[in-house]
A and B are shown apart, each in its own frame.
Chain A
Amino acid sequence: ILNVEQSPQSLHVQEGDSTNFTCSFPSSNFYALHWYRWETAKSPEALFVMTLNGDEKKKGRISATLNTKEGYSYLYIKGSQPEDSATYLCAFLYNFNKFYFGSGTKLNVKP
């Protein structure tokens, strides 16, 4: 079993704050790194699929970067809103066919 770590485990911020979380993964046999957003009582949904070292992806106020050589990815949320409250999961795709998930960062944005 490969180790994929996310930090912090949980985060409480005020509306308008910017925040970021980290996903660490093995730097060998890298194929892709996915970020998923999981709202309570819903299904996880993909935010970003990142495959190249140095990749930067952006969707609205949310962006992500990838460093495959050192084995980490950052997810940034600019100007957090209450609707951003969710658990953010990263998943490391190993050997083209198996995903290893981190335990997630649970974000709570207070109005």
Chain B
Amino acid sequence: DTEVTQTPKHLVMGMTNKKSLKCEQHMGHRAMYWYKQKAKKPPELMFVYSYEKLSINESVPSRFSPECPNSSLLNLHLHALQPEDSALYLCASSQTSGAISGANVLTFGAGSRLTVL
């Protein structure tokens, strides 16, 4: 299995809703990432988990709450979002988040397209 699987593919939510995005990989990777991508813009790093511990939070507002229940799963809990949070949310994984011999390539999921009304 060489894939990162994200669900749901599409999500529409109101500003008062609580929802979650889910990400799963079975490649034995120990680093997992959330990126946010708006139309015609590059992916922007939000969070990095290394060995199930949060290692990087790029000053993301608290209405986004990440969770890593185990080495294969990564969730992003959403609450009280704003319309400007509408974007494609990409999950990625890699062998580690730090130094390693070789490329240590990030493998991305297909993304969850979020629309906040």
Is B truly associated with A? no
Interface of B toward A, CB cutoff 8 Å:
none
